[in-house]
Structures are given as structure tokens and as C-alpha cells.
Amino acid sequence: MKHIRNFCIIAHIDHGKSTLADRLLDFTGSVTEREKQEQLLDSMDLERERGITIKSHAIQMNFPYNGEEYVLNLIDTPGHVDFSYEVSRSIAACEGALLVVDAAQSIQAQTISNLYLALENDLEIIPVLNKIDLPSANPEEVTDDIVDLLGCDPDEIIPASAKTGLGIEEILKAIIERVPAPTGKVDAPLRALIFDSVYNPFRGVETFFRVINGSIKKGQKIKFVNTGKNYFADEVGTLRLKQFPQKEIKTGDVGYLITGIKDAREVKVGDTITDAENPTTEAVAGFEDVKPMVFAGIYPVDTEDYEELRSCMEKLQLNDASLVFQPESSAALGFGFRCGFLGMLHLEIIQERLEREFDMTVITTVPNVSYYAYSNKEPNEIILVNNPTDLPEPSKLDRVEEPFIKATIITKADFVGPVMSLCIEKRGEIVNQTYLTPERVELTFNMPLAEIVFDFYDRLKTVSKGYASFDYAPIGMKASKLVKVDVLLNGNTVDALSALLHVDNAYDIGKRMCEKLKELIPRQQFDIPIQAAIGAKIIARETVKALRKDVTAKCYGGDISRKRKLLEKQKKGKKRMRAVGNVEIPQEAFMAVLKLND
């Protein structure tokens, strides 16, 4: 066990985690010349194109040092805030972490939040200053920032460049010297932590785990503690670039397990594996079911593709257990699904994967969050509102609670004003303001999650000229004055455009929605009123004027009453038309509601 080192790489998005992992693999000879490629551990096309890591990846390397062979288990983690639960489980499986900071961009919001996660788990932190070969790098200043943040010695920070391979050997030596070897009881009952799982269409779910106590053998009967199900370990092994089956994975090591499970929902990240005959008494702490934060409707463009969309969603769920969906129907869009996502990036990725991997073109409705509505008839009745149409009548409502988050924004001192006004406009309350350096400020706000799922991130980048980094964590539910704003077209409610909004913003957003729809809805033979309403009260109205046919063209000269007669006849026709008229809503209209500020 003393020759095993388990470590992960934590950093903000785009600070060079995956490239650093590539160099470590090259240096230790874990990959051959033929297998080498950029972002080696990012196996999905989407990850490569966008340059982001979506799934955690584990890989084992061997490194000889002082005449002894060491086994290094690297767990590469996603940098994006949407996948922070997965990052927290990966961190729990390690004893050390490489904290990678970009020498050109310095410390960002996610670096700090991931660092706190690592410190909570008592990890040994090795700071790495990456990208020092860039012309825009500022190593001295960033070194001072890291020293202030960690309270470490400047000599402990390893300057490196993952692109050129500078400093890679020092990083590997630091891992062996500074990261403690795993501790665990070899003779205790099996206790292992699941930190990731992937779905293999031929072999079922492959579970990645770290053994804390005991060992896991091939053919052993095992049990998952939180789901309470028993399985046989058909195959266990270590993770190189390919999987290497072994007879036994011992205490402190990381490996994979194949049990032939066909349903990815049975394997939960953070669960504990133990022996079925001789189970452990204590599960690994920190397990939680992943809760979706953002909800949106996904509908097929053609209603006939509904069943096909269902099978695509089920296949996608096998690979991504944090996607939750249930069928729903909408008067405007027909049959579709109500889906839960971890955040806006997750929603974008799912939408893109549906289009790429399954050739499904879909319509996504306005994303929203889930609220708790309390009824005033039965005191303790809580109604979960995922969709604005689920909200009870105002007369039956006691109060509505919405999820709040703690948002951490790090920006340059010049942009504090614009960033603050943006957060206050989004109903944020400032909690703290800290100057990390004379040039860089950390702002902490409590904000409603609903306000950030729209366009918050884009606008934050705009007001700070791209210099702000943003990170958030949920802090629970708070009561808010929320109302349901409906959009009526020609007197009919369009349920796909309904939204739950705060009272203060309802009039303004209602008016802007009507104006936007007026531009997008094509003119008909009759007037179309577009109205925004709260309950029965109309708060805004725009009218799409009718296309007018000139019926009086054939009257030249003569009495005015002839013209009037024709116009009256036309008026009656228009009235009748409007009563039976159906307004087609173009697909752009659903997306336009998201971009009210443009």
C-alpha cells in the first residue's frame, strides 16, 4: 500500500487540467506513441470540440522513483460548476490534489470552491502554476496570489507548462513525496466508494471505485449499501488506457467493476460497495442523490417522433444517470418530456448529444427551476411545482418558496460597479466583498436560482468584458412573492410560454414578452391580440394588425353607403374568422423569450 498514490487535478475551466493529464501519461510511459492524442482522457467528441471535461476519468500510471516502483492513480475531474457533485466524490477517493492555476488568468471562482472541497476532505494540496510559457503570463503576481490563498511557501509552488512538458517531472516527484499513501484496514470487511460509472452497451454498467478497507475479488458476492441490491463481481481490474482484469483489487487501490447491471440508475455515484455476506457497518459518508436544479421541456419538432425521442432519452440516461425526465403534453407543442438538468451547461450538452448521437431535432422550452407551493387549505401540504401550469390558484396559495444559491464572482476591481448592478437587478443580496489583491475582488451574493438560469452568465461576461468568473452552490429554499404570468394569443393561453416571475419584474417582463412576440408572429387576415396576464388581470397587450384586403376597390364614384355596406360585410367576416382562427406560433418565438434583453 505504501507505493500507491491517489490524486486528482482540480482547476477552473480552461486552466489546463486535461493537457496536464496528457503530459503526465506521456512522461510515465502509460501511452504509446500510436495512442497519443490531445485531451487523451476526454473520450466524447463533444468534450474535445468544446475543450471541456464532462465526465470524470480515472487512469493508473507506474513511475519508478529512487529505485522503487510507484503506482499513481489519477482522477481527472470536470471543471464546470454543474458537475460539482461528481467532483466532490472524486476528491473523496483521493489523498492529494494538484491545484492547477493559469499563470495568465490567476485564481478564479471555481478554483476556490474546488479547493474548499479538497480541504474539507483533508487532501494534501500541491499548487501548480501552469502556462508559464505564455507571453501574457504573470508568474510572480500569481505566485503571490496562491501564497495568500493557501498560506504555503512560494518554493512549494511548481512552475509548469503542460503544453511544452516543463515541470512535469517535478510534479510527479512532489506527488510521491508530499501525497500520503492510502491508509486502510486490509483485514476489515470490504468498504469501497463509487466515484463514477459509465455505460457500456456490450457489458452493462462499468463502475469505478476506490477500495477504502478490505479487498474485492473476482466472483465475490457484493452489495451496494444505499440501493440495498446484491450482485456478483463478474470482473474487477485496474484502469490503464484499456482495462486490465485482475483477480483482486486491494486496500487503497482504484479499479473498475463489471456486474452486468443493465440500468445505470442502479449505480449511484457516492454509494458504498461492501461484501454481501460480511457487510461493513459504516457506509462512506457524503452520499446524496443528484438533484436536478433546472427544468425544461423537450419536445420533438414533429409530434410523430415522440416514441423515437423516448427511446433516445432512455439510451442517453444510461450514460448520464443525472438526467431525469417524465412525459408531459402541451397544448402548443403536443407530446414531449419534462426534463431535469444539473444546470444550463448540462441542458446544452444533452440537447447537443440528442442531435448528434441520435439525429433528433428538438424544441426546448424556457428553462425554469422547481418551486415549493404551500396550500392554505391543508396547512402542511407542499406541492412541488416544476412547471408553471402546476401552480395552484392564487386563492388556495399560502406562499411559494424558491431555491436560492450562494454565488461567488471574482472580477477585476474596475468592474465591481457593473457586476453589482447586474446582481441587484437579478434580486441578489450582497453578503461579502473581499479584495484578494488590489486588482481582484471576490463578491458573494445570495440570489434566486431562477434569475441565473436565463442569461445571467452571458450578461456577466458582457459587463465585465470577459474578466469575471462565476461559481455557485445551493443554500436552500426561501419564501418569495411569485406570480404566474400567462401569455394569451387571440384569447387562448399558450402554456409553453407561461412563466413564474417575481411580482416586481412581472409587469416589465410581461410587456417585453408581448413586444417580442409581436415582431415574431406572422400577420393573419384578422387582428391578433397578444396579452400577458396574471390570473384574470391583463397586465400588457400588443396587437398584430390584420392584413387588409381592399374590398372597396371596385366602387368608384357613387354613394358612400355602397362602400360602407362592403366594409360592414368585411368586418363581420373578420369577426367570424377571429372566432375560429388558429394562430401558428413559429419555433423562434419559444427561444426569443430567453433573449428578452437583446
Binding residues for GTP: 14-19, 130-133
Whether 546 and 526 have beta carbons less than 8 Å apart is answered as yes
Whether 251 and 184 have beta carbons less than 8 Å apart is answered as yes
DSSP tag of 252:
T
DSSP tag of 370:
-
Distance CA 303, CA 257 (A): 41
How would DSSP label each residue in 317-352?
Answer: HHH-TT-EEEEEEETTTEEEEEEEESSHHHHHHHHH
Whether 182 and 237 have beta carbons less than 8 Å apart is answered as no
DSSP tag of 439:
S
Distance CA 378, CA 451 (A): 30
Q: What share of the chain is helix, strand, coil (3-state, %, to 5)?
A: 30, 35, 35
DSSP tag of 551:
G
Whether 162 and 131 have beta carbons less than 8 Å apart is answered as yes
Give buried/exposed letters for 350-379 (b at 16+ CB in 10 A, else e).
bbebbeeeeebebbbbbbbbbbebbeeeee
Q: List the grid coordinates of 480.
A: 418569495
Angle between helices 109-120 and 84-92 in degrees, nearest 10: 40
Residue with cell 432512455: 314
Distance CA 193, CA 75 (A): 14
Give buried/exposed letters for 460-483 (b at 16+ CB in 10 A, else e).
beebbeebbbbbbeeeeeeebebb
Q: 561: exposed, middle or buried (C-beta count within 10 Å: 0-12, 13-18, 19+)?
A: exposed
User: Which region holds residue 67: left if phi is over 0, alpha if psi is between -120 and 50, else beta?
Assistant: left
Distance CA 307, CA 314 (A): 11
What is the phi/psi pair of residue 477, to 5°?
-100, 145
Chain centroid, CA 375 distance in Å: 31
- Residues belonging to the binding site are 14-19, 130-133
First and final C-alpha spacing in the chain? 59
Whether 503 and 482 have beta carbons less than 8 Å apart is answered as yes
Distance CA 312, CA 301 (A): 14
3-state secondary structure of 135: coil
